[in-house]
């Protein structure tokens, strides 16, 4: 199945400000650029990380700007904050974890990052994960500070986010670094994060976002602003045209970039379901006692769930805890064996899903006359030592997606979410990343 685009007369060619690249090659650094700073972690030397990005021909890094770490609720600089972790050191080795245990001035570090990016001619895409369960806010060590932010009334969140973004941009401009900003997202995946439980649902969320974007656009007409969504996935993980059309209705009318994510976790979610439904908060004591597949995945001698769960440090990650336990204690070779063996059952539906969404969303962006960016995807979350996504099979999926995005004239393309120091794709496939980014930039 393929989505045919309408005639050229029906679409408008997008343009971007002259100082920005004609195409973005995006490395997704999330909040790790600030939290993974201990010796041996990926960002212990931020200059080295940026140099490696240049070597791999990335011209953009997408980061959590951590504006609630940089400023308090009134917009005053916070100064130093303590970085924590999701699992106590010694128990976090194989997932998206860090040791923590240090203090950082986020505002100073962000300005420093932008200065270093300017020296290397790299651009920065700014966003926030703070209201998304299981994400950056959980890395704040101080529970009172976490509560201060998370207790923000839902109806006030988009106004708050816009004011914090405005405050940050004021500081960036004070240092003359605004030309380093590729674009700014009001929040990551807004409907399932800052917009969760928003009174009035999606129509009210959209209206609130439009108001916040107008606020920012009036104050910063030189910056591109957008919202951000993960594409809607039917329960069977098969592309559905009507579902996709409804998805396009979420975007605010005044976005200046069509920014989306493109996950289809059909394969990995099949493993999670077989292992006891790990993303649905199962009764883990029962799973580890009765689920033979789960028991097969766990390495002999691993701590049981009851013992391990005592070492989680923040309830903000509660929904992710069963998956984290599996990733930290399983035999990754068995995980890879299962993924390789079952991948052929899912390849066609996943690739058709990716291809059709790319075509449809690109056409939608052209109708609006705005550039399109995909800055997260595509299979979900691999254990850090898995070789499935770095293998020839995994890379062939990334090549397939890149090819389709180039054909659809995407402005911003991210090869994989896990293109950051400390990840196997970054460390072990540097030449492939370089050649793929080169292909994107020269297309």
* pLDDT given for residue 95 in this prediction: 73
Check whether 156 has a pLDDT greater than 70. yes
Check whether 42 has a pLDDT greater than 70. yes
pLDDT tens readout for residues 250-280? 999 999 999 999 999 999 999 999 999 998 8
Compute the distance between CA of residue 159 and CA of residue 171 in angstroms, rounded to an integer: 19
Helices (H) and strands (E) in the chain, counts: 17, 11
Q: What is the DSSP letter of 431?
A: H
Residues forming beta bridges with residue 123, ordered by sequence position:
60
Check whether 436 has a pLDDT greater than 50. yes
For residues 332-341, give the mean pLDDT: 98
Compute the distance between CA of residue 83 and CA of residue 220 in angstroms, rounded to an integer: 31
* pLDDT given for residue 8 in this prediction: 46
Compute the distance between CA of residue 211 and CA of residue 225 in angstroms, rounded to an integer: 12
* pLDDT given for residue 7 in this prediction: 43
Tokens of 346: 């899912």
What does 325-364 look like in DSSP terms, one character per residue?
HHHHHB-HHHHHHHHHHHHHHHHHHHHHHHHHHHHHHHHH
Check whether 9 has a pLDDT greater than 60. no
Whether the ω angle into residue 378 lies within 30 degrees of 0, i.e. cis, is: yes
For residues 200-221, give the mean pLDDT: 97
Compute the distance between CA of residue 41 and CA of residue 131 in angstroms, rounded to an integer: 25
Residues forming beta bridges with residue 62, ordered by sequence position:
28, 125
* pLDDT given for residue 5 in this prediction: 46
pLDDT tens readout for residues 85-113? 989 988 887 776 789 999 999 999 999 99
pLDDT band at 12 (very low <50, low <70, confident <90, very high): low
Tokens of 144: 């009172």
* pLDDT given for residue 360 in this prediction: 98
Least confident of 5-19, 41-55, 251-265, 336-350: 5-19
* Cα 418 from chain centroid (whole Å): 9
What is the spatial order of strands in the sheet that 60-64 belongs to? 225-226, 181-185, 123-127, 60-64, 24-30, 412-413, 372-374, 258-261, 229-230
In contact, 322 and 284? CB cutoff 8 Å: yes
Q: How many CA atoms lie within 13 A of 21 on its CB side?
A: 25
* pLDDT given for residue 6 in this prediction: 44
What does residue 164 show for φ and ψ, rounded to 5 degrees?
Answer: -65, -40
Check whether 13 has a pLDDT greater than 90. no
Nearest to 117 by CA among 62, 167, 184: 62
In contact, 410 and 362? CB cutoff 8 Å: yes
First to last CA, the chain: 25
Which residue, chain included where needed, has tokens 């930290």? 328
For residues 212-223, give the mean pLDDT: 98
Count of C-beta atoms within a 10 Å radius of residue 202: 14
Handedness of CA 136, 250, 260, 213 (dihedral sign): negative
Q: Do the bridges between strand 229-230 and strand 102-105 make them parallel or antiparallel, or are there none, so unpaired? A: unpaired
Least confident of 5-9, 326-330, 338-342, 359-363: 5-9
Compute the distance between CA of residue 291 and CA of residue 297 in angstroms, rounded to an integer: 10
Give the rounded percent of residues in the chain with a pLDDT score beyond 70.
Answer: 97
* pLDDT given for residue 10 in this prediction: 53
pLDDT band at 4 (very low <50, low <70, confident <90, very high): very low
* Cα 54 from chain centroid (whole Å): 20
pTM, 2 dp:
0.95
Give the rounded percent of residues in the chain with a pLDDT score beyond 90.
Answer: 90
Mean pLDDT (the chain, rounded) = 94
Handedness of CA 325, 195, 130, 251 (dihedral sign): positive
* pLDDT given for residue 75 in this prediction: 94
* H-helix or E-strand spanning residue 212: helix 201-219
Q: Report CA Rg, the chain.
A: 21
Domains and CATH numbers, the chain: 11-266+348-442 (3.20.20.80)
Compute the distance between CA of residue 71 and CA of residue 433 in angstroms, rounded to an integer: 36
Please name the residue ranges forming H helices in 255-302. 266-274, 284-290, 292-297
Compute the distance between CA of residue 371 and CA of residue 60 in angstroms, rounded to an integer: 15
Check whether 1 has a pLDDT greater than 50. no
Compute the distance between CA of residue 222 and CA of residue 83 in angstroms, rounded to an integer: 33
């Amino acid at each position: 199945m393929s989505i045919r685009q309408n005639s050229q007369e029906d679409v408008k060619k997008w343009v971007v400000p002259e100082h920005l690249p004609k195409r973005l090659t995006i490395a997704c650094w999330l909040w790790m650029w600030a939290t993974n700073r201990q010796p041996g972690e990926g960002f212990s030397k931020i200059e080295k990380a940026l140099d490696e990005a240049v070597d791999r021909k990335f011209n953009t890094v997408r980061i959590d700007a951590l504006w609630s770490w940089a400023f308090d609720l009134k917009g005053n600089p916070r100064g130093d904050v303590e970085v924590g972790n999701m699992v106590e050191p010694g128990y976090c080795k194989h997932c998206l974890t860090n040791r923590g245990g240090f203090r950082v001035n986020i505002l100073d570090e962000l300005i420093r990052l932008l200065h270093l990016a300017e020296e290397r001619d790299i651009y920065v895409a700014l966003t926030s994960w703070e209201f998304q369960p299981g994400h950056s806010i959980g890395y704040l060590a101080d529970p009172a500070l976490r509560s201060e932010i998370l207790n923000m009334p839902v109806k006030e969140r988009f106004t708050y986010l816009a004011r914090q973004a405005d405050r940050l941009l004021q500081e960036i401009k004070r240092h003359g670094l605004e030309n380093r900003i590729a674009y700014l997202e009001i929040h990551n995946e807004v409907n399932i994060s800052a917009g969760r439980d928003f009174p009035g649902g999606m129509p009210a969320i959209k209206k609130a976002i439009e108001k916040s974007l107008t606020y920012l656009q009036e104050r910063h007409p030189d910056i591109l602003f957008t919202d951000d969504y993960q594409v809607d996935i039917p329960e069977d993980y098969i592309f559905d045209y009507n579902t996709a059309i409804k998805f396009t209705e979420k975007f605010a009318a005044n976005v200046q970039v069509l920014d989306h994510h493109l996950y289809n976790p059909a394969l990995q979610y099949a493993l999670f379901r077989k292992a006891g439904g790990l993303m649905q908060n199962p009764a883990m004591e029962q799973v580890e006692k009765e689920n033979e597949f789960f028991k097969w995945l766990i390495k002999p001698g691993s701590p049981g769930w009851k013992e391990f769960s005592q070492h989680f440090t923040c309830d903000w990650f509660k929904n992710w805890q069963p998956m984290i336990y599996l990733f930290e204690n399983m035999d990754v070779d068995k995980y890879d064996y299962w993924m390789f063996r079952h991948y052929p059952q899912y390849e066609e539906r996943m690739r058709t899903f990716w291809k059709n969404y790319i075509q449809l969303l690109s056409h939608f962006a052209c109708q609006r006359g705005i550039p399109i960016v995909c800055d997260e995807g595509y299979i979900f979350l691999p254990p850090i030592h898995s070789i499935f996504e770095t293998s020839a099979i995994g890379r062939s999926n990334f090549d397939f997606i890149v090819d389709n995005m180039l054909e659809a004239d995407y402005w911003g393309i991210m090869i994989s979410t896990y293109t950051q120091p400390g990840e196997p794709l970054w460390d072990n496939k540097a030449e492939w990343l370089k050649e793929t980014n080169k292909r994107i930039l020269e297309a």
